[in-house]
Structure 1
Amino acid sequence: MSEAAPQVLSFDDDGSFPNSRFPVLIYCEPSAALSATAEAMEAHFRSNDWVPLWRDSVFDYHHYHSTAHETLGVIAGEATLQMGGPKGQYVHVARGDIIVIPAGVAHRRVATSGGFKLVGAYPLGQEDWDVMRGLPADRPAADKRIAGLALPTCDPVTGPDGALLTLWR
């Protein structure tokens, strides 16, 4: 697959949500072949050492994961998501787009249309993801789990030489 340049979004700790020193990466329609079917997207993620675990939507409340980084591949419809918590940024995503979310970054679904659906995938070894809602009791244990997480070995979209490996180092 050819190198696709992602949109890069960064979010600081807001007191409730740790967010991350690593940026969120949004690939806008990196490949028509990749988004042809859910199975094609899942196979592509697997080829880059990301394990697809579900097909569904995004929770409609702010949340983050402290035990896994996450990739969301849009397989149908479109949506507005909010990244970074209540003071974060709204982003529009549509079929074929792929969002790579580092552990700790808050995200939620704001609005959808067209039967919005995603494939959710996680780096090998991080298939047991949790859901943190930004409660005071979540931290500092969640911060410690995030700090101990291994970085992915491949960018889920562009592979072992992809943007993630440059931007997340």
Structure 2
Amino acid sequence: MNSNISSFQFKDDGEIPNNAKLPVVVYAGVFADNPNDIEPVFNRNGWTNSWVNGVFDYHHYHTNTHEVLGINSGTAVVLIGGEQGEQLELKTGDVIVLPAGTGHKRLKQSPDFSVVGAYPDGKSPNLKKRDPDVRAESLSEIANVSVPDTDPVFGSDGPLLHQWKAAAN
């Protein structure tokens, strides 16, 4: 599994909290040769409660867990980090790991777009939309989500863990 790894840090924009400490990590093309391996690899590495579907077309985030998304077919442009965030073009074989609180929204997709999602230790994600009234509660919940024990792609010694453990301290 070869991958071009990049990361992005997003600030709280007043509507989407994002994550003050942990960056979004993208593994470009890590499953390009075997997209059918995405879900089994996530699950083997302890990122479970997996599903196959798409990405919502409105800003949302999860305050109680991190999320990994693996593109198993097609392409999509996803806006990460709120309205002033980053537009990422994701394609078959790419993986993006969203720390708790990170806003994400699908802007466009190919007709065959499909994504596998999963969560560390099978946590059930909550679903939050832009709402200033739940801001303080959301920030508190995000701060309580710990760095996972494993990288969803590379297991116990993956690049995600190195970046997130360094950022969390």
Q: Same fold (TM over 0.5)?
A: yes
By how many angstroms is 1:134 displaced?
1.7
* Structure 2 unaligned spans of 5+: none
Report the CA distance shift for 1:97/1:23 in structure 2 as closer, same or farther (over 3 A): same
Helix, strand or coil: the match of 2:112?
Answer: strand
**CA offsets 1:108-143 (integer angstroms, 9 cap, x no match):** 000001410100100005x21011112012211111
Pairing of 1:1-169 with structure 2 (within 5 A): 4-20=3-19, 21-32=21-32, 34-35=34-35, 37=36, 40-125=37-122, 127-169=123-165
CA distance in 2, matches of 1:152, 1:32: 25
Moved over 6 A (4+): none
In the alignment, structure 1 segments of 5+ residues that lack a partner are none
Q: Secondary structure of the residue that 1:115 maps to in structure 2?
A: coil
Q: Which range moved further: 129-138 or 72-81?
A: 129-138
Cα distance in structure 1, aligned partners of 2:75 and 2:90:
6
In the alignment, the residues of structure 2 paired with residue 52 and residue 133 of structure 1 have an alpha-carbon distance, to the nearest angstrom, of 21
Q: Contact between 1:52 and 1:119, CA under 8 Å: does it hold in 2?
A: no
Q: How many residues align?
A: 164
| 1:12 Cα offset (Å) | 0.6
TM-score by length of 2: 0.91
Question: Residue 42 of structure 1 contacts residue 52 of structure 1 at CA under 8 Å; is this kept in 2?
Answer: no
Q: Kindly indicate whether the alpha-carbon contact (under 8 Å) linking 1:70 and 1:120 is maintained by their aligned counterparts in 2.
A: yes
Any idea what SS the aligned residue of 2:23 has? Answer: strand
Which of the pair is proportionally richer in helix? Answer: 2
Q: 1 CA distance for matches of 2:114 and 2:100?
A: 21
1:61-111 C-alpha deviation (Å, 9 max, x unpaired) = 111100110000101100000000001010000011001000011110000
Shift of 1:5: 4.5
TM-score in terms of structure 1 length: 0.91
Amino acid at match of 1:43: P
